[in-house]
Amino acid sequence: MRFIPDLMKSIMTQTYRDFNVVVIDNGSSDEVAVFLKEHYPEVVMIRNARNLGFAGAQNQGIRYAVEHWSSSDGNDRFILVTNPDIIFTPTFLEELMAQVHLHPLCGSFGGKLLRAFGENLADEVFKETIHSDLIDSTGLRPHRNFTMTDRGAGVLDRGQYDTQENVFGLSGALVLYRGQALQEARYKDEFFDHAFFAYKEDVDLAWRLQQFGWDALYVPKAKAYHYRGMYGPEKSGLLGKLRNWRRKSSIGNYYSTRNQWLMLIKNVQFVNGLLAIPWAFPYEGARFVYVLFFDKGLKACLDAIRLWPVMLKKRGAIRAKSKRSAKEIRQWFV
């Protein structure tokens, strides 16, 4: 609830006005429904009795939108996925929507995310919001060990990411998807992989869209701010990553670790997997050893094994629709 007033105000003051808002209440108990009914009665609200996770709830919202479109192909329809802890600048949507028809091969669009910080009072209402110059994400950057980081995360914005360009994908905290691209990436009733629950489901979807031939466009003029919970700087060695793992919650490490393995099962082409062994195997081995002894590693491993058959079915569906070669995908992982 502490984030919703600023989020909704920033949405409703957008210079681009042709949109509808759907809020998924994922089993909350902090009176969000009362606030929205009083201040934003035009908003559609879907309430869940329990927390279905980020992936499950976002899928609900996407399915609701798709089912209410008058156009079936979705090429001129777009869905903006946003976390609740986002603050839009007034021209965010205008800047993104100015690009969607200029780039018909792009299935996703995103802007420059900067970090917001707030000082809490005893009642958990922010006393002051600081819009910083610290970068949160300028798109997803793949690495040759099959990890993914947010470009520029943790560094000051000095204009080094002011070039509009294609990226591998965009952070799921705030990303605009082309309806047609989502329809092609759909598996049964899923867009984000429901089995992931939370963490890395945005990376998984970005990877699938790349394989299906869809580009992702980073638009730096579109700016927003993000209160991020789990994060670390983009550039950090193994010791730095270990320290970041230690700062994360136990449940966060569990989902992050398990979903990394599920994502690799689904998306890595065989030849790319072989070529990446010198980098991926030591990294994933270190991750496994760490979580095994310190943080629900055995459960993450067992659950990944349990879900292996499901991921193989989804892998088969991806391979059947893939339009890009292993070499084309591999060029990103450098």
Per-residue confidence band for 122, with pLDDT thresholds at 50, 70 and 90: very low
- Percent of the chain predicted with pLDDT > 90: 78
Q: How far does Cα 20 stand from its chain's mean position?
A: 21
What's the pLDDT at 118?
A: 79
- Poorest-pLDDT segment among 70-79, 121-130, 186-195, 261-270: 121-130
Given 226, 248, 282, which residue is the final one in a domain? 226
Per-residue confidence band for 228, with pLDDT thresholds at 50, 70 and 90: confident
pLDDT digits (tens, 9 = 90+) for 67-109: 998 866 678 999 999 999 999 999 999 999 999 999 999 999 9
- Percent of the chain predicted with pLDDT > 70: 89
In-domain check, residue 183: yes
Whether residue 308 has pLDDT greater than 60: yes
In-domain check, residue 107: yes
* CA distance linking residue 298 with residue 295, whole number of Å: 8
Q: Same domain for 65 and 198? A: yes
Q: What is the total count of domains within the chain?
A: 2
Closest CA to 142 of 206, 195, 191: 206
Q: Same domain for 246 and 216? A: no
In-domain check, residue 176: yes
Closest CA to 37 of 23, 18, 26, 51: 23
Given 172, 205, 226, which residue is the final one in a domain? 226
What's the pLDDT at 243?
A: 59
Q: Same domain for 48 and 196? A: yes
Q: Same domain for 185 and 257? A: no
Q: Same domain for 179 and 264? A: no
Q: Same domain for 209 and 272? A: no
In-domain check, residue 231: no
* CA distance linking residue 231 with residue 124, whole number of Å: 21
Residue holding tokens 């929507």?
Answer: 97
What's the pLDDT at 233?
A: 63
CA–CA distance from 52 to each of 57, 148, 169, 219 (Å)?
6, 25, 24, 31
* CA distance linking residue 257 with residue 61, whole number of Å: 26
In-domain check, residue 232: no
Q: Same domain for 13 and 75? A: yes
CATH number of residue 209's parent domain: 3.90.550.60
- Of the two residues 81 and 31, the one the predictor is more confident about is 81
Mean per-residue pLDDT, 9-13: 98
* CA distance linking residue 298 with residue 273, whole number of Å: 24
- Poorest-pLDDT segment among 16-30, 36-50, 59-73, 105-119: 59-73
pLDDT digits (tens, 9 = 90+) for 214-223: 999 999 999 9
Q: Same domain for 164 and 260? A: no
What's the pLDDT at 316?
A: 97
Cα-based torsion angle of the residue sequence 248, 251, 256, 261 in order, rounded to the nearest 10 degrees = 140
0.75 surpassed by pTM: yes
Whether residue 31 has pLDDT greater than 70: yes
* CA distance linking residue 28 with residue 35, whole number of Å: 13
CA–CA distance from 60 to each of 29, 77, 258 (Å)?
19, 17, 23
Whether residue 121 has pLDDT greater than 50: no
* CA distance linking residue 17 with residue 133, whole number of Å: 27
Residue 263 phi/psi, 5-degree rounding, is -65, -40
Neighbours of 285 (CB within 10 A): 10
Q: Same domain for 312 and 248? A: yes
Q: Same domain for 222 and 242? A: no
* CA distance linking residue 216 with residue 232, whole number of Å: 23
Given 226, 258, 293, which residue is the final one in a domain? 226
Domain ranges, residue 291: 238-330
- Of the two residues 289 and 318, the one the predictor is more confident about is 318
Q: Same domain for 294 and 160? A: no
Which H or E element spans position 118?
A: strand 106-120
- How far apart are the two ends of the chain, measured CA to CA in Å? 40
Neighbours of 284 (CB within 10 A): 17
In-domain check, residue 286: yes
What's the pLDDT at 193?
A: 98
What is the CB-side half-sphere exposure of residue 307 using CA atoms within 13 A? 24
In-domain check, residue 233: no
Whether residue 238 has pLDDT greater than 80: no
Mean of the per-residue pLDDT values for the chain?
91
Q: Same domain for 256 and 107? A: no
What's the pLDDT at 124?
A: 53
Tokens in use for 118? 């707030």
